[in-house]
Amino acid sequence: MEKKHKIIFFGRKDCMVSKKFIKELKKYSNNVKVIMNDKIKQKFPKNIFFWEGDYIMCFRSFYILPKKFIKKAKIAAINFHPGPPNYRGIGCVNFAILNSEKFYGSTCHLLTKKIDSGKILDVIKFKIKKKDNIESILKKTYNFQFLQLKKILKNGLSIKKIKKMQHLMRHKKWSSKLYTRKELNNLYDIAKNIKIASQDLDKYLRATVTNKFRPFLRIKNKNYYFS
């Protein structure tokens, strides 16, 4: 990647790995615009809609980029998805634990109008250990995503290189299943998952409990959280 290339990076506020992404991108370009956010359903900023350049890079951003904006990337609009191709959407780590998966991973792919459906550029997989929980798996995932960034930057991003990466990954296909926020929210409702929780409470808790989130029981319009 040449220093003159224009890049816009969408990341997450207060995220150390997002900061590593920015630092790495600035090694390769003198023209990196950074857009950070930390809230779900934030409206896409109007003041950046007129940006045009070579690359769009997304990592942990809550923004859903409009199709018209994605097209503004002359060479590539790239997303780093925190999950393997068989886990699309939201809450992928939660459902991978719930489904007793042995492996997890990260997927680097081109951005399209549809969520997690663009052509795949790179996939990294790693083993899920028995002691792993949501946070430990996500930590590994983010670190592997950073390695994916370094890998593609080292290879050099050009239209020719992008097409070569697509060709090498042509056998990798996205799952037809898309996990939604509604499904993730429902997963935290113990009443809706009583069968799963009663069969394997430890697994259910591993699939739901983090420092910020807890499963809950709703009684008379009030949520009582599992502590």
> Per residue, what are the HEC states of the chain?
CCCCCEEEEEEECCCHHHHHHHHHHHHHCCEEEEEEECCCCCCCCHHHCCCCEEEEEEECCCCCCCHHHHCCEEEEEEEEECCCCCCEECCHHHHHHHCCCCEEEEEEEECCCCCCCCCEEEEEEEECCCCCCHHHHHHHHHHHHHHHHHHHHHHCCCHHHHHHHHHHCCCCCCCCCEECHHHHHHHCEHHHHHHHHHHCHHHHHHCCCCCCCCCEEEECCEEEECC
Residues 112 and 204 in one domain: no
User: Above 70 in pLDDT, residue 114?
Assistant: yes
- Averaged confidence pLDDT in the chain: 93
Strand partners, 127: 103
pLDDT, tens only, 51-89 = 999 999 999 999 999 999 999 999 999 999 999 999 999
Residue 227 has pLDDT above 70, yes or no: no
Instruction: At 35, list the tokens.
Output: 């857009």
Rounded Cα distance between 110 and 165, Å, is 11
Q: What is the pLDDT of residue 156?
A: 75
Residue 1 within a domain: no
29: domain CATH number is: 3.40.50.170
10 Å CB burial of residue 123 (0-12, 13-18, 19+) is: middle
Q: Which long-range contacts (CB under 8 A, 24 or more apart) does 148-153 make?
A: 148/80, 148/106, 148/108, 148/122, 148/124, 149/21, 149/24, 149/25, 149/57, 149/59, 149/80, 149/108, 150/24, 151/122, 152/78, 152/108, 152/121, 152/122, 153/1, 153/24, 153/25, 153/27, 153/28
Is residue 129 domain-shared with residue 199, that is, in the same domain?
A: no
pLDDT for 2 equals: 53
The answer to whether residues 113 and 192 belong to one domain is no
119 and 73 assigned to the same domain: yes
The pLDDT score that the predictor gives to residue 186 is: 96
Q: Which of 1-5, 194-198, 201-205, 217-221 has the lowest mean pLDDT?
A: 1-5
| Whether residue 69 is found in the same domain as residue 156 | yes
Who wins on pLDDT, 146 or 39?
A: 146
* 124 and 28 co-located in one domain: yes
Q: Per the domain annotation, does 74 fall within a domain?
A: yes
Same domain? For 157 and 85 the reply is yes
pLDDT above 60 (res 91): yes
The answer to whether residues 36 and 16 belong to one domain is yes
- Segments forming the whole domain that contains residue 171: 6-179
Residues 40 and 148 grouped into a single domain: yes
C-alpha span between 21 and 147 (Å, rounded):
10
Q: Looking at the structure, tell me whether residues 169 and 197 fall in a common domain.
A: no
Among 161-170, 194-203, 206-215, 218-227, which is the least confidently predicted range? 218-227
Q: What tokens appear for 44 in the block?
A: 């896409």
Average pLDDT, stretch 31-45?
90
Same domain, 112 and 84: yes
> Which of residues 154 and 136 earns the better pLDDT score?
136
Determine which of 5-14, 42-51, 180-189 has the lowest per-residue pLDDT on average. Answer: 42-51
The yes-or-no verdict on residue 37 having pLDDT over 70 is yes
Helix axis angle, 134-155 to 16-28, nearest 10°: 0
175 within some domain: yes
Residue 144 in any domain: the answer is yes
pLDDT band at 202 (very low <50, low <70, confident <90, very high): very high
Structure tokens at 226: 């599992």
Quick one: average pLDDT of 174-198?
95
Indicate whether 35 pLDDT > 90.
yes
- How many domains are contained in the chain? 2
In this structure, the answer to whether residues 81 and 156 fall within a common structural domain is yes
